[in-house]
Amino acid sequence: MRFIFMQKTKVQATGKYLRLSPLKVRRVLDQIRGKSYQEATMILNFMPYRPCKPILKIMKSAASNAEHNDGMNNSILTVKSAYADEGPTMKRFQPRAQGRAYPIHKPTCHITIVLG
């Protein structure tokens, strides 16, 4: 009897309920999709946008999942897919003149990064 052990080819990490606009996060995710892990971390370290820090944190978490859970090496990892879904929108009101109220919508998003 022969046993064949298949190594997992994909690992993922998700950040949920992040106080970032999904549109602005997608703009950054488009830059790293398909790149190697080292190249993507380099890009995120030098981009001036606010979503870069949480995206980098999620990507490092996915790389740690790959290394510790599946024994994969960081040098062979690539960003297979990266996407941002809309989370719930926090609704607030700003008081305005003459007793009026102006609605404020504070978007949240869920970021998922899949490495393989």
Q: Where are the domains of the chain?
A: 23-93+103-115
Q: What Å distances lie between residue 111 and 68, 71, 107, CA to CA? A: 21, 24, 13
Whole-prediction pTM value?
Answer: 0.88
pLDDT at 7: 63
The model's confidence at residue 4, banded by pLDDT at 50, 70 and 90, is low
**114, pLDDT greater than 80:** yes
pLDDT exceeds 70 at position 5: no
Q: What is the pLDDT of residues 54-109, one digit of tens each?
A: 999 999 999 999 999 888 888 899 999 999 999 999 999 999 999 999 999 999 99
∠106-110-112 over CA atoms, to 5°?
A: 155
The confidence band for 18, taking pLDDT boundaries of 50, 70 and 90, is very high
Architecture of the domain delimited by 23-93+103-115: Alpha-Beta Complex (3.90)
Task: Name the average pLDDT for the chain.
Answer: 92
Interatomic CA distance for residues 65 and 32, integer angstroms: 19
